[in-house]
Structure 1
Amino acid sequence: MMRGSLAVSPSLSVRRLTIEDLEQVDGLNRLAVGPVIDPNVVKPESHAYFETIFAGRGFFVGVFDGAELVAYAILQHDHAASDDPRASLGLAPGAPVGRLAGARVAPAYRGQGLQRALIAARVRAAPPDMLLFSTAAPVNTASWSNLLAEGFPIRDIQFFFGGYARYLMVRDGTTYDPGRTLLVDPLDTPRQKALFAEGWRGYARGRLESGATGVVFAKPIPAVGS
């Protein structure tokens, strides 16, 4: 079982959660997202969904301050048919694929790098043959910025969770050509879709002339021998 201190804050401990932690997970989810959830930004999650993860659809990584759960994140390997990425990624139906799903941090513990630390923790805990992906709303800058920083480039914009636009971000170890890049507004969906179709990928965060956060696009560097 995963257990130990967290690199970003040695005073906090991390471990894999069990069904006994369910009520703390549910309470932290409600505390972190507040009374109104905009599904265009964050996927709503429920007590019933958490039960399915504990029942075998994936696992939770939790961060504790003493006995208090202050952050958690999910790695889900059993996907709903409508949200299964295998076909769009060119993978066989039974290929092992894990989604870095919901992550929540208690308001008092934000700004400590816990979101990035939880991404890294799930990557380490995943089976070595599992392809990892995640989704993030283009308007959710913090989410996709953290994923980019942890090696999840943007491959496409697709519709998940009942029709909400999300970046499809896949950790495949690809490197990118920094000598030819384009800086794009994350809200410019037609421009990004055209770039994805031409083989470009979003691989870094940048700054637009307006001062807003943009996505740096580049083309993958072909692997040697390919």
Structure 2
Amino acid sequence: MTLEIIKRSKPKIPWSTKACIIFSIFCLLIGSAIFIVAYISMSKNILLDQYNQPLLSWLVEHRKTQITYALSIVTTFAGSFYLSSLVGAIAIIWALIKREIWRPALLVGAISICPIISSVTKTIVQNTRPDQLNMIQPFELDYSFPSGHTLGIIVLLLVLGYLIISRHTSDFRITVWLIITVALTALIAFSRLYLGYHWLTDVVASIGLGFIILSLAIVADRFFIHIFKN
């Protein structure tokens, strides 16, 4: 019993700068690899691109009214307006309760660059979306690569999780973080595919970009801590 109490009361040690930098490099490498595979697949019509049309066709053929309605709601709330509103609310509450500005500001900054990165990448790549015959209204007519919805949600979950767990870590928190991140990212990505707005390569590219943005956020966080540690 005494050992259990000691184990439960063991202080949650913050991640060291070395551990964070190693994790940042890992995220950068993983994210870059995922994005490159998605881009090559899309541009060369190989690898993942071979599953783009078959997957879309299968999803369209197996649509159910109730599922379509539910996923339409999900994808709406994952849009930039609602996601930005949610992040703004989280940042304000966080700043007021914890009496700090840096972590909430970094979260807002990470989310704010997502639409920029998404728009610039879409303009450069210029990959067309699936045909409107496969889309659920309202139609989306801009370019498809990458998925802005998927990028926004994965950056929110990755960066928010890092900012919390890097200060107060535990195996339980890390496990919960991973489960929530995988589940919600998969849900949003699936909704974009199911509703006919994106190709598989689009959502995969967004996952890669999400890890790259997390890597940059970690570097910015560690730099801030190093400069203002006193």
TM-score w.r.t. structure 2 length?
0.26
Q: Which has the higher strand share?
A: 1
Higher relative contact order (CA 8 A, sep 6+): 2
TM-score relative to the length of structure 1 = 0.26
Bigger Cα Rg:
2
